[in-house]
Amino acid sequence: MQETFYFGAGPATLPKVVLNKIKNELIDYRGMGLSVLELSHRSNEFMDVMIRAENLLRELMGIPDDYAVLLLHGGATAQYSMLPMNFMHLGEVADYVCTGHWSQKACNEAKRISNINQIDALVDSKLKSIKPIAQWPMSERASYVHYCENETISGVMNDIAGMDAVSLKASTLFCDMTSSILTRPTEVKDFGLIYASAQKNLGVAGLCVVVVKKDLLKNDVKNTSNFSPMVFDYKKCFEAKSLVNTPPTFAIYVLGLVLDWLKAEGGVTEMYARGQQYSKSLYELIDMSALYVNNVDARCRSDVNISFDIKDVILYEKFISLAESNHLLGLRGHNSVGGVRVSLYNAIPASGVEALLGFMRDFELSHG
Ligand code: PMP
């Protein structure tokens, strides 16, 4: 049977080794006669699962001891509310750098709660690009600067960490790394807080991983109404070791398995090398083609989510359906933008990228 490759943006492809392990442990977790789904979150077995997952993440990302790792509910979207709720005093301002759908969504949500300086950093003309940092109207004293490293929908990457210490490090950086975490090396100490939903590179939906500098958790919630529900209070979540309530146990278990796999594959350095190679060959094919076109400035093209259009729009549906009959799934772009999107998360194997490149070449030869 021909192998199926899934390029969807999330929930996304999982390593086969991980799926097989889940299958085996679903009915009988390590000889206990219980499913992993049935384990109590307060049992020693689950504590082990949680501690192992945290330690692996610390090792793979090089997370310093003065940072906490929180395993929370609510996806990245809950973080959009938690950030201003926890880190803004009345009258303070936070800078939100907008480069696409997700950073804009974070900004809009924060505006409902606090005083926000929206920085429109995207030049959304025929070729999408990001304005140089020097042109961003930063606040004099922002409580924090929020940005999204990789815009999953448009395939625009805002790779600013560590780039401009003068204008950014003055303030605390908060970053949405939902679609880029563990695909590239990250200098955690450059950040106040990093967050990522799990369903792309960390496993399955239902979990958001937060890496936060412990110093930031010293104070109680500071929002305008001086109130935040306990599940939305970082300090309480930290003190309760992410067990303010029952955590998403299955997603945490899968996180551990994905991180085990990632370590065995060579860690972040290897993932980065693979991702660079895969995205380079895909962009090369697109740039040399008369049929496919990518509209992102080469300086900020994503190496994780690669979007392109088919110049002859009539061929779009045919491209998608022929791809599907060739077992290449999940290529339809997000509803809001259309086009084709290839998500090259860590679990995509080289054979999948080869199969896609081959299909795109053949499609152009027979339809171009
Ligand atoms: N940020 C980014 C960059 C995303 O890609 C997504 C989901 N695609 C989100 C935030 C929202 O994640 P969730 O739906 O898990 O809240």
Whose CA is closest to atom 12 on ligand 1?
Answer: 76
Cα–Cα nearest to 209, from 364, 94, 324, 56? 56
265/125 Cα distance (integer angstroms): 40
- 94-151: per-residue pLDDT in tens? 999 999 999 999 999 999 988 999 999 999 888 999 999 889 999 988 999 999 999 9
The range of the structural domain enclosing residue 285 comes to 267-367
Question: Are 132 and 281 part of one and the same domain?
Answer: no
pLDDT of residue 88: 85
Q: Which of 21, 95, 176, 235 is catalytic?
A: 176
In a domain, 290, yes or no: yes
Cα–Cα nearest to 305, from 101, 83, 104, 42? 101
**pLDDT over threshold 90, residue 220:** no
Last-in-domain residue among 264, 292, 316: 264
Per-residue HEC secondary structure of 69-127 comes to EEEECCHHHHHHHHHHHHHCCCCCEEEEEECCHHHHHHHHHHHCCCEEEEEECEEECCC
Whose CA is closest to atom 15 on ligand 1?
Answer: 75
Secondary structure letter of residue 38 according to DSSP: G
pLDDT of residue 17: 97
Question: Are 68 and 105 part of one and the same domain?
Answer: yes
In a domain, 10, yes or no: no
Question: Are 98 and 109 part of one and the same domain?
Answer: yes
| 76 close to ligand 1 (CB < 6 Angstrom) | yes
218/215 Cα distance (integer angstroms): 6
To which residue do tokens 């086009």 refer?
339
Q: Into how many domains does the chain fold?
A: 2
In a domain, 1, yes or no: no
Whose CA is closest to atom 5 on ligand 1?
Answer: 152
Structure tokens at 159: 């790779």
Give the rounded distance of the alpha carbon of 31 from its chain centre: 34
CA 198 to ligand 1: nearest atom: 15
Question: Are 51 and 175 part of one and the same domain?
Answer: yes
Give me the percent of the chain exceeding a pLDDT of 90.
Answer: 86
102 is an active site residue: yes
Q: How many residues does the chain have?
A: 368
**pLDDT over threshold 60, residue 2:** yes
Question: Exposed e or buried b for every residue in 152-169, given b needs 16+ CB within 10 A?
Answer: bbbbbbbebbeeeeeebe
- 281-335: per-residue pLDDT in tens? 999 999 999 999 999 999 999 999 999 999 999 999 999 999 999 999 999 999 9
Question: Are 275 and 230 part of one and the same domain?
Answer: no
Mean pLDDT (the chain) is: 94
**pLDDT over threshold 80, residue 9:** yes
**pLDDT over threshold 80, residue 161:** no
**pLDDT over threshold 70, residue 169:** no
Residues 6+ apart with CB under 8 A from 63: 57, 69, 188, 211
Question: Are 211 and 271 part of one and the same domain?
Answer: no
Q: Is 140 exposed, middle or buried (0-12, 13-18, 19+ CB in 10 A)?
A: exposed
Question: Are 170 and 293 part of one and the same domain?
Answer: no
pLDDT band at 168 (very low <50, low <70, confident <90, very high): low
**pLDDT over threshold 70, residue 224:** no
Question: Are 198 and 66 part of one and the same domain?
Answer: yes
| 109 close to ligand 1 (CB < 6 Angstrom) | no
The CATH number given to whatever domain includes residue 177 is 3.40.640.10
- 324-350: per-residue pLDDT in tens? 999 999 999 999 999 999 999 999 999
- Name the residue of 107, 179, 182 to mutate for ligand 1: max ligand atoms within 8 A of Cβ: 179
Last-in-domain residue among 264, 298, 328: 264
Question: Are 215 and 297 part of one and the same domain?
Answer: no
| 148 close to ligand 1 (CB < 6 Angstrom) | yes
pLDDT of residue 253: 98
pLDDT of residue 156: 97
- Cβ distance 300 to 159 under 8 Å? yes
- Name the residue of 178, 200, 334 to mutate for ligand 1: max ligand atoms within 8 A of Cβ: 178
